[in-house]
Amino acid sequence: MMRDKLSQALKDAMKAKDTRRLSTVRLIQTAIKDRDIANRGTGKDAASDDEILQILQKMVKQREESAKIYEDAGRAELAAQEREEIVIVKDFMPEQLSDEQVAGIVASVIAETGAASIKDMGKVMAVLRERYAGQMDFGKASGTIKAQLG
């Protein structure tokens, strides 16, 4: 389970005195706790592994955006720090699918759902999110869906 993996990573980082990894794992755990609290407020259960993967994806995306902003501002050391955190966060995510794999999966999901036009994009996206959370960039996948349906 994701939570167990994160707790173990926290302990290992403490023992190794790896401050970057330690602070990043703490950030991940805080984001998960925030989601748990939000879920509790709406009567839902604690964040599932799929929700945790979505949180991790969001964290990677935020850090990629920050790194670009830092680079554009000439702050290479801060950009490097963001990239180190990206590597650490990605350690807890399943392997990312290649563009070719995503195209094949999209084609099979389109066939499976009987999607015929852009109007059916939501159906296809719902299946992809359910089955491949944390394994693909859904922004890119939506472009692939549009290309295949359009």
The Cα–Cα gap between 120 and 34 comes to: 33
Residues of the chain with CATH 1.10.1510.10: 2-90
Task: Give domain 99-149's CATH number out of 3.30.365.10, 1.10.10.410, 1.25.40.10, 3.30.70.360.
Answer: 1.10.10.410
Reduced 3-state DSSP string for 67-111: HHHHHHCCCHHHHHHHHHHHHHHHCCCCCCCCHHHHHHHHHHHHH
**Helix 19-41 and helix 2-16, axial crossing angle in degrees, nearest 10:** 150
Q: What is the pLDDT of residue 138?
A: 84
C-alpha pair distances (Å), 54 with each of 3, 39, 72, 85, 117 = 14, 14, 27, 16, 27
Termini Cα distance of the chain = 39
Domain spanning 2-90, CATH architecture: Orthogonal Bundle (1.10)
The 3-state DSSP class for residue 130 equals: helix
pLDDT at 140 (0 to 100): 85
Residue 35 is predicted with a pLDDT of 93
pLDDT of residue 50: 81
Give me the pLDDT at residue 116, please: 87
Q: What is the pLDDT along the chain (150 residues), one digit of tens a residue?
A: 889 999 999 999 999 999 999 999 999 999 999 999 999 988 889 888 888 988 998 999 999 999 999 999 999 999 999 999 999 999 999 888 888 999 999 999 999 999 888 888 899 999 998 888 778 888 888 889 988 888
pTM score over 0.85: no
pLDDT at 130: 83
Residue 104 has a pLDDT of: 92
Q: Percent helix, strand, coil in the chain (nearest 5)?
A: 80, 0, 20
pLDDT for 97: 87
For CATH 1.10.10.410, the residue range(s) in the chain are 99-149
Tokens 């859904």, residue located: 138
